[in-house]
Amino acid sequence: MLKISKKNQPTVEVFNGVVRKTLVCGKDVLMARFEYKKGSKVPPHKHSYEQVTTILKGEQKIIIEREGKREEILIKSGDSYIVPSNFEHEQISLTDAVTIDAWSLAP
């Protein structure tokens, strides 16, 4: 077991008003804490891995393109969601928000 101390958890602003703190990153998995300012956006994107997210605080709108259909999901504190691999998605923060996200990095 390897301990990752708080001082070794890098923080970066990935988009305007969106700050990611990498909590831990192993060979096959990454877990991060995100802080979002109200009105901040994560633009449409997709990735080859599955993403799981739990919202700890706030409200967000998640927009997912699935089989040519656009689905909007409202998530609030305590809710979780999954984005399957290769699904285009975006986030809009309706309030200040905090999430924990995890990704499998394995091929």
Model confidence at 5, in pLDDT bands (50, 70, 90)? confident
Model confidence at 22, in pLDDT bands (50, 70, 90)? very high
> Phi, psi at residue 75, to the nearest 5°?
-120, 145
Q: Report how far residue 60's alpha carbon sits from residue 34's, in angstroms, rounded to the nearest whole number.
A: 12
Query: Which tens digit of pLDDT belongs to each residue from 56-96?
Result: 999 999 999 988 899 999 999 999 999 999 999 999 999 99
Indicate the pTM of the whole model.
Answer: 0.91
Q: 46-74 in b/e burial notation, b at 16+ Cβ within 10 A?
A: beebebebebeebbbebebeeeeeeeeee
Compute CA distances 94 → 20, 74, 79, 87, whole Å.
Answer: 18, 9, 15, 22
Domains of the chain, CATH where assigned: 10-104 (2.60.120.10)
Q: What is the pLDDT of residue 8?
A: 86
Q: What is the pLDDT of residue 40?
A: 98
Q: Report how far residue 18's alpha carbon sits from residue 16's, in angstroms, rounded to the nearest whole number.
A: 6
Q: What is the pLDDT of residue 107?
A: 64
